[in-house]
Structure 1
Amino acid sequence: MANKIELQLIDPLFDALQKERFVTISTIDHETGAPNVNAISWVLAPDRQRLYFALDTRSRILENIHKHPAAVINLLANESAYSIIGNAHVKIEKLEGVPLKLSLVELEISEVRDVMFYGSRISNEPQYAKTYDEKAAARLDQQVMDAMKKA
């Protein structure tokens, strides 16, 4: 039996995307046309139909989105794995209130699929640690999340 396809974020996913967290993004490489997967953490759901994420203005992900807007965010939450599918575009070229040169990208959600293999669940969500100054990292993360919320 196929999993149900949602047209927007369900409550547990919307709630999970109200703070910085580990996700992967898949885009189509602008040079090769092959799949391209990256890990990102500055992601936010401003509502159930959209995702925002912040990227360095020099990111290959941005080049990929400019040529091919199709993108997939893979999220581990709610004891499962989800693909959040849509078209992405740069909403803001240079995010204000952040010391880094970041662009804000908006993903307009077309589908949300539970892609966890049958008979299993995620028992522990991934965790990560910042490898630079902890206080500086926390300050930067807060600045980025605040700027995305204001967008």
Structure 2
Amino acid sequence: MANQVEQCLTEEMLPLLQKERYVTISTVDFETGTPNVNAISWVFAPDVQTIRFSIDNRSRIVKNIKTNSGVVLTLIANGSTYSIAGDAQLIQEKMEGVPLKLALLEMKVEEVRDVMFYGAKITSEPKYDKTYDAQAAAKLDFQVMQVMKRR
């Protein structure tokens, strides 16, 4: 996909964003107007034009998106790095059926770019471990993903 600009997720990317995954989200800070980058993992793409994500509803990300809807998700996959740009909006202030105060947001994909620098490829994708109770984490992950899937 190098040097190409797509208007939606590719068929190869779609399944990668249909499960919990490490991505970064870039927003415009509502106070300073400068870029703000955070790592998130609860993402779900129901189709090639839409990505849903869940975060703590007190997060600066929510405030940033309410002020400026432009966002960029960065996905590291398939040996490359992708910039997925679009507009996001708050769908639910507090997700029903989830014990934490999590917000549900939805992004409309407008542009997908392969932004990996020339002559290189990613040889190992980011991995992470949950540092709290594994059973509690699995239960919460399941609850969050179920809400995002049925929206």
Determine whether 1:116 maps to 2:100.
no
Deviations along 1:37-60, one digit per CA (max 9) or x if unpaired, are 000000010110010000111010
Tell me what 1:54 maps to. Answer: 54
| 1:92 matched residue in structure 2 | 92
How big is the shift at 1:19?
0.4
How many residue pairs get aligned? The number is 150
Cα deviation for residue 120 of structure 1 reads 0.8
What is the CA distance between 1:82 and its match in structure 2?
A: 0.2
State the match for 2:101 in structure 1: 101
Cα deviations by residue, 1:130-150 (Å, 9 ceiling, x for unpaired): 000011101100110011001
What runs of 5+ residues in structure 2 fail to find an aligned partner? none
User: What does residue 146 of structure 2 align with?
Assistant: 146
Task: Give the structure 2 partner of residue 70 of structure 1.
Answer: 70
Q: What do you get for the CA RMSD once the two structures are aligned?
A: 0.8
The aligned amino acid for 1:113 is: R
Instruction: Tell me which amino acid in the other structure corresponds to 2:117.
Output: F
The SS at the match of 2:13 is helix
Name the TM-score, length of structure 2 as normaliser: 0.97
Q: CA shift at 1:78, angstroms? A: 1.3
Matched letter for residue 143 of structure 2: Q
Letter of the 2:49 partner, please give it.
Answer: Q
What is the CA–CA distance in structure 2 between the aligned matches of 1:58 and 1:94, rounded to whole Å?
A: 10
Q: Give the Cα separation in 1 of the matches to 2:104 and 2:27.
A: 16
Shift of 1:94: 1.5
TM normalised by structure 1 equals 0.97
The letter for the 2-side match of 1:117 is F
Structure 1 segments, 4+ long, off by >4 Å, are none
The residue correspondences of 1:124-139 to structure 2 (distance < 5 A) are 124-139=124-139
Q: Structure 1 unaligned segments of length 5 or more: list them.
A: none
For residues 96 and 12 of structure 1, the distance between their equivalents in structure 2, rounded to whole angstroms, comes to 31
Identity rate, percent: 58
Task: Tell me the equivalent position of 2:6.
Answer: 6
Question: For residue 16 of structure 2, what is the aligned residue in structure 1?
Answer: 16
Amino acid at match of 2:6: E
Output the CA distance in 2 between the equivalents of 1:100 and 1:129: 20
Distance 1:18 1:87 in 2: 19
